[in-house]
Structure 1
Amino acid sequence: MKFISQLGIIPFDFSVLASNLKDYKSPRQKVLELEKQGTIIRLKRGMYVVSPSVSGKPLSEELIANHLYGPSYVSMETALRYYGLIPESVHAMVSMTLKLTKNYENNIGRFEYIHCPADYYSIGIRQVVEEDYAYLIASPEKALCDLIAYTPKLRLRFVKSMQTYLEEDIRFDMVEFYKMDPDIFEQCLAVSKKKTDIQNILKLLKK
């Protein structure tokens, strides 16, 4: 089954497998066998990825997150950790999406998606291009805005409380914080539901 290893690490749906398994009496049964053998990994119903032991390449959780539910981009603690801005390891791959809020769990891990409106969604997204694939992730500024704007019950109404949150609660790299681009925060401020909080990021940044 040479075609499977050629699929690389990009997630694919059942139809890709079925079109290459036409010689089998039951392509669906063969797919179940491939999954059981560990040749492919099921991400959700009808979506799979080739096992690293077959492709010879490590999986990209960011790429999987983009494909699993989209349009979406990786953000919040996941993106901040990706950039090395917070020291804590993250328990889930968190993304923002234009679709409804949704969670998935599979053999790769937990994937969480948080809904946001289109005018806010489009701000501060980066495309990371690797050797043979690409994925979308928030810029550091947008990831921080997303974390503050979309963490339930988080209220940072004063500059001092914002500073405490960054320095003590999430242990943000404050040297890097003061190098951040205010323009992205200002764009988020214009359309965000937590205007006071994002205003306090800007005030702290300009101190």
Structure 2
Amino acid sequence: MLNSTELIITNHLSDHIIRDHDLSYLFKGSAARRYALVNKALRKGELIRICRGYYTIATKYQKLALSLYYIANRIIPNSYITAESALSYYNWIPERITAVTSIASFGRNREFDTPLGHFIYRIVPIIPQYFYIGVNSVQINNQLIYIATPLRALMDYVYWHKIKGADSNFFQKSLRIEKENLKKITKQDIKQLQPVYRAKNVTSFLQNLINKIENE
């Protein structure tokens, strides 16, 4: 093990995302020296670059494996897991997810293809005060994750994919969501989330869900 890797571990960063400023603090001296230490650790496979400015230590040195959802939350601050990735977490869809999808509160649409996985971020027109409505904080391997509730994930999916006329039947067919899971969505859940989006396709989707509940 390299001395630089040991230094990262002794400073309790082995189970965290490591940023450039963390390395600046740990590796004293010039920028050239720090650059050389980082590149040596990368070549040895003891340090992994996730994307520009973000790293993690190799899995064999981690006490607990970093969740891809945790990594996604940290690459872009003020973001949460949503759409198919959130639905997969709740076991609402049967398909294996190959990319982690997130909504971010600012910036631009971005994608990162990394050694650990593919991460997708989208910006949507949500009033800041409503950004975290319908977003839960959960723990995976003692790592705090921000993730959409199933209904919020469906709303983001509808907006993201520009779907018109979405209702329960649409999601049963397109994403193979079980009818019993969709029945867990209550009228109160829907009303709480109605202010989040002004987009007509999303508001129509929520109204279709309400109509379904009232007619059953």
TM-score normalised according to structure 2 size: 0.85
1:151 alignment partner, one of 161, 178, 186: 161
Letter in 1 for 2:93: I
Counterpart-to-counterpart distance in 2, 1:166 and 1:72: 24
Counterpart-to-counterpart distance in 1, 2:185 and 2:68: 26
| Aligned match of 2:19 | 13
Unaligned ranges ≥5, structure 2: none
Name the stretch that deviates more: 73-82 or 163-172. 163-172
Counterpart-to-counterpart distance in 1, 2:16 and 2:186: 32
Counterpart-to-counterpart distance in 2, 1:113 and 1:44: 14
CA apart distance, 1:65? 0.5
Counterpart-to-counterpart distance in 2, 1:64 and 1:141: 23
TM-score normalised according to structure 1 size: 0.88
CA apart distance, 1:36? 1.6
Counterpart-to-counterpart distance in 1, 2:204 and 2:29: 62
| Aligned match of 2:148 | 138
Pairwise CA RMSD: 2.0
SS in 1 for 2:194: helix
Asked whether the 8 Å contact 2:131–2:196 carries over to 1, the reply is no
Partner deviation per Cα, 1:122-157 (whole Å, 9 max, x = no partner): 2111111345431111111211121122213x1126
Map 1:10-89 to 2 at 5 A: 10-22=16-28, 26-89=33-96
Give the 3 Å change call, closer, same or farther, for CA 181–32 of structure 1 in structure 2: farther
Unaligned ranges ≥5, structure 1: none
1:115 alignment partner, one of 109, 112, 123: 123
Counterpart-to-counterpart distance in 2, 1:104 and 1:205: 39
1:4 alignment partner, one of 8, 18, 31: 8
Give the 3 Å change call, closer, same or farther, for CA 55–191 of structure 1 in structure 2: closer
Q: How many residue pairs get matched?
A: 202
| Aligned match of 1:127 | 137
SS in 2 for 1:78: helix
Counterpart-to-counterpart distance in 2, 1:88 and 1:130: 20
CA apart distance, 1:178? 0.7
Counterpart-to-counterpart distance in 2, 1:149 and 1:186: 18
Asked whether the 8 Å contact 2:78–2:104 carries over to 1, the reply is yes
| Aligned match of 2:105 | 98
Name the stretch that deviates more: 91-100 or 143-152. 143-152
Partner deviation per Cα, 1:6-59 (whole Å, 9 max, x = no partner): 313321211212322226871111101111211121111111111211114222
SS in 1 for 2:111: strand
Partner deviation per Cα, 1:140-179 (whole Å, 9 max, x = no partner): 1211121122213x1126xxxx233121111102212112
SS in 2 for 1:127: strand
Partner deviation per Cα, 1:80-123 (whole Å, 9 max, x = no partner): 01110011112210011111221111111111111122244221
Letter in 1 for 2:190: F
Asked whether the 8 Å contact 2:66–2:141 carries over to 1, the reply is no
